[in-house]
Each structure stands twice: as C-alpha cells, then as structure tokens.
Chain A
Amino acid sequence: MPRQEECLYTKEHEWVFRDGDEIVVGITDFAQGELGDIVYVDMGETGRQVNAGDALGDIESVKAVAQVYAPVAGEVTAINEDLADSPEKVNQDPFGEGWLVRMKPANPADLDALMDHEAYRKFLEEEGH
C-alpha cells in the first residue's frame, strides 16, 4: 500500500503511485469523504489508450456520480475487480484496497506535472477544505 507522502496528486483529487514502469491510480481520502457512501465503481475495460484528462470511469454514491480522470496519457493495464462486489473499499481504504486502475504512462515525464503531497495539502487548504 502506498504511503500518502509517496504519491502524486491531481486537482481532481486522484492520487498516483509509481510502481516500476506502471502507475496505480485512486481517489484521495478527501474525495471519498465528499462523495459519501460509495455504492458502485465502473472503471471500464483494460487495454484502453487514454489521454490525460480523459474519463477513466465513474464512481457512484447514492445521489451523486463522479468521474475519475486519467492523470496522464497511457494505457489502462488493470482495473480493481474487487470493487465490483465491494465498492465500500474506496471509502474504507482509498489508498490501499480501494485503488482503482493501473496504467502504463505513455511518457513517464508527464508525471512531473502533478502535485506532490505537500502541494496537494496546500491546494486543499486554498480550496477552503
């Protein structure tokens, strides 16, 4: 399980963890708290090529649906199949068992544009959270 300090972050509240030449993507603790009880996760299919900012999939609570966006361009290599039956893992353990997808970035240097943990913490403060 990645430690939050080791992750990179987007302004849409996704976290990104480098794992060899792949990355793992999830949503932050702040994001799961905003959504409330998550009842469904749909991250689409593996093998897709996506651009940075493309929709990776949807996370649904009872009365809201949030899109998850690709933090960088690349290929979706795996999705967390366990969430089909246990979407609550995103609430309970957003940085661990609640991970969403694995991707292979098209250009690893793209990750440099993301925020580090300290920058994300400041970003949250500035947003008034």
Chain B
Amino acid sequence: MLREIGAASLDELLAPIPPELRLGRPLELPGPLSEPELLEAMGELAARNRVVAGKDSFLGAGAYRHHVPAVVDHLLQRGEFFTAYTPYQPEISQGTLQAIFEFQTLVCQLTGMDVANASMYEGGTAFVEGILLAVRQHRGKRRRVVVAGEVHPWYRDVLETYAANLDLVIVDVAADPETGRVDPEAVGAAVDAETAVVAWQSPNFVGVVERTDALAAAARGAGAFALQAIAEPWALGWLEAPGKLGVDIVVGELQALGPAVSFGGPYVGMLATRKGMVRAMPGRLAGMTEDVEGRRGFVLALATREQHIRRERATSNICTNSALMALAVTIHLALLGPSGITEGARVSRAHAHEALRRLAALPGVRRVHSGPFFNEFVLEFPRPAAEVASALAERGILGPVPLSRFRAGEERRGLFAFTELNGPAAIERLVAGLGDVL
C-alpha cells in the first residue's frame, strides 16, 4: 500500500506531525490481551461487584429493575441495528428511521402528548432540555423557572449546572414535609408573569404522586408552561396520561422500560410536548414522507433546528443521543401493549403497598410521608439508613437507597422501590432481613 501511495515508509505519512509533538515512546498501558485473557481480566472486575437476583433488589431513585423480555436484547444484538450510524443517508437507514418514528409514536401514546423526539441522553439532561424548551418557546422573554416539590435531587443538580450561564432565575417551592406533596396553591403563589415554566416530578423523588392537574392549572393560569418529569415510566400504566391533565412538556427517564440498570448508563431520556412547540424542540425527529415512486419512507425532519445547520443558534447542542436504548424501549412497549403496562403497574404498586404494610409494622420503622404513592416510599429507621443498606447487602438484599446519598439531615431515611419482580417471598425475606439488622 505504501508503494501505491508513493511513500517510502509509514513515517513519511506521519510527516505532517512535527517531530517535537510526537510521543516518541510506547504508551504505558497494559495489554494486549487475547480474548480468553480479556474475558478473565474483565470477569474478575465484574466479580468484585455484588449481584443479586432482581427479586431481591429494592433499589430505585431513578433506576429500576423490571423484567425485560429476552426478545428485546436479542433484537438489540442485531448488528444491523447496533453497528449502524446515525441515519443521515435515509435510503439505507429506513430500519433505524422507522424505529425512531415508532419510538416517537409510543412515547406519545404513553404520555398523551402530540410529539416526542428521538431521545435525549438520560433523565437529568432531558429535564433540563425540557425547561430550556419552555424558555425558548417564550422567545426568551420569561426567564423564571419554578421547580415544585421533590424533583430528583440529581436532576435538580444538572439544571443548576446547565443554568449557570443562561441568565435564568430558578425558584424552588418545597414539598409539604408531612405528605411529601407540593401544595398547588403555594406553587400558584410562586408563579408570576416572568415565569416560563413550572416543573415537577410525579411520582416524585420520594415516591409520592403529585396533583398534576392542579399544578398544570397553576402554571397555565399565569401563562407559564407545565412540565412533568417522570423517572419511573411504569407509573403511566396507572396514572392518567399527563397530556390529558394539562401538561405541556413531559420529560424523564425511560430506563425502566428497556436498558439494564448498568451502574447508571446508558439510559434513555424522553422529551415530549405539544404540536405548537415542535420547532423549539431539541434533538432529532424522524418524519414520514414518500419516495419518488410514492412509497412510504422516513427521514430526519426539521433538521434546521439542529446544531449542524443552525450552529450557535440551534435549539440544543445534542447530536449523538441514545438511539439504541430508545429501540429497546420501543420493542418492549410493543410487546407489553395496553394490558402489559397496566398489569405491570398494578402488580408493582401492589407489591409496594404490601411491603409497606409489613415493613411499617417493624418496631421503630415508619413511613415518612402520607401522600399516595406508586411503587416507592421513604422509611425512617432507628439507625442510619446507609448502615441498614450495607447490613442488608451482606444478607444478599439490596435496598434501601439512603437519602444521605442525596442530601444532609435525613440520615435515618431510606427509599425503597418495588417492581413486579419483588413478589411475596422476596418481601418476606426483606421484612425478615430488615428485622434482623435494625
């Protein structure tokens, strides 16, 4: 090949790099490892992590273990999907483009919204992008953001990071410490003519379901947009679709419907909204059209919103998103159907309620909030929750998530989550285990 090129050596091809900028030594790295050596080395690392069966994990707080049918990962492992690039050449990317179109459709069907994008990175950044969408839709004239109640503290942190240079005023309205719910009247009092958006999470970080209808009304009454975040999308098998309750923007994390918990990623963010806001949306959108012979086909639509065309005036800087994880969610929702998601929500909620009944009967244990919940709740213990979690982990049980991982002052509180996997026998083991370690 060098001869064809007309170069005497590889070094000649490296000539554009000035000699003083060359490394001039081998990289100090391990390897190379053969495949069996690699499997062994990585296997050792994996073995240093404690894995429990799904039924014995009661961890949530933004990442959930649900059963995902084998078909989902089987399809995800098709090279045609996972080794494809972003569908910039539509004629040979119809598989990916139609899958995105179907993802957009299913997210709309689940949330009751008009339009959804092709995905965001994950829940925290989706939360921020939803808020920025609202600000943009007001053409930047309203710069006040009201964050209502118990939004996931790390979503709230990401907002703080992004907003640092964007000239936004962020106002927090605290939840009622008794119920765990935010009072819509208090939110209404905090919303003014400068407010672009009211943002809340439901079910919220402490598991409590918010008064979505009243919060949306409080936002809209002052001309602000209503944004609901969702971290546990199975709740939408039980809760009314946000689109029917006056919500303008739905954002959140769809991990629970497809991707493995995988120590925090890759997950998949969702962003859905109303028709009138579509041009202010961030991220890719697949649209339906036809080819020159009238056959149905799909392309990336409204690309002029995006960074590769509008550059510094783009609606977002996002390029690579979480397409393959969105595909997992699409396949899973297609398998679940209306009855699957409804039944999964029903069973998960029932497991949580049954577990609370049993756990709250333990001496010194109480649920902190009185508000209605879906599949998560906070318990208070006589000793630090982090110690409880470590002691239970020794017994092969994972949970609760100590609130001390998120904030100070609630050291004895921990968050438990339940899914369809945590059946009566697992609840029994949890009750016994917790009784032992308290």
Contacts and interface: CB of A to CB of B under 8 A. Distances in A.
Interface stretch (A57-65, A93-101, A102-110): A57-65
Nearest to A62: B303
A64 B310 CA distance: 8
B304 interface: yes
Interface string B120-140: 000000000000000000010
A42 B303 CA distance: 15
A120 interface: no
Contacts of A65: 304, 309-310
B41 to A, nearest CB: 47
Contact of A64 (B139, B279, B309): B309
Contacts of A64: 304, 309
Interface string B296-324: 00000001100001100000000000000
| Interface size classification for chain B | under 10
Chain B residues touching A, majority SS: helix
Interface in A35-52: 40, 42, 44-45
A66 B345 CA distance: 48
A44 B138 CA distance: 11
Contacts of A45: 139
A63 B309 contact: yes
Contacts of A62: 303-304
B279 A40 contact: yes
Contacts of B310: 65
| Interface size classification for chain A | 10 to 19
B287 to A, nearest CB: 11
Contacts of A44: 139
A45 B140 CA distance: 13
Contacts of B139: 44-45
Nearest to A60: B304
A64 B311 CA distance: 11
Interface in B265-289: 279
B214 to A, nearest CB: 31
Nearest to A61: B304
A32 to B, nearest CB: 16
A62 B303 CA distance: 7
Interface string A11-24: 00000000000000
A40 B304 CA distance: 10
A80 B375 CA distance: 52
A44 B139 CA distance: 9
Contacts of B279: 40, 42
Interface string A68-97: 000000000000000000000000000000
A42 B139 CA distance: 12
Nearest to A55: B313
Contacts of A60: 304
Contacts of B304: 40, 60-65
Contacts of A40: 279, 304
A81 B100 CA distance: 32
A16 to B, nearest CB: 25
A53 B137 CA distance: 24
B417 to A, nearest CB: 44
Interface string B314-351: 00000000000000000000000000000000000000
A129 B309 CA distance: 24
A27 B279 CA distance: 22
A60 B310 CA distance: 10
CB-based closest 6 A-B pairs: A60-B304, A65-B304, A65-B310, A65-B309, A63-B309, A64-B309
Given A64-B304, A65-B310, 5 more contacts: A42-B279, A61-B304, A63-B303, A64-B309, A65-B304
10 contacts: A40-B279, A40-B304, A44-B139, A45-B139, A62-B303, A62-B304, A63-B303, A64-B309, A65-B304, A65-B309
Interface of A: 40, 42, 44-45, 60-65
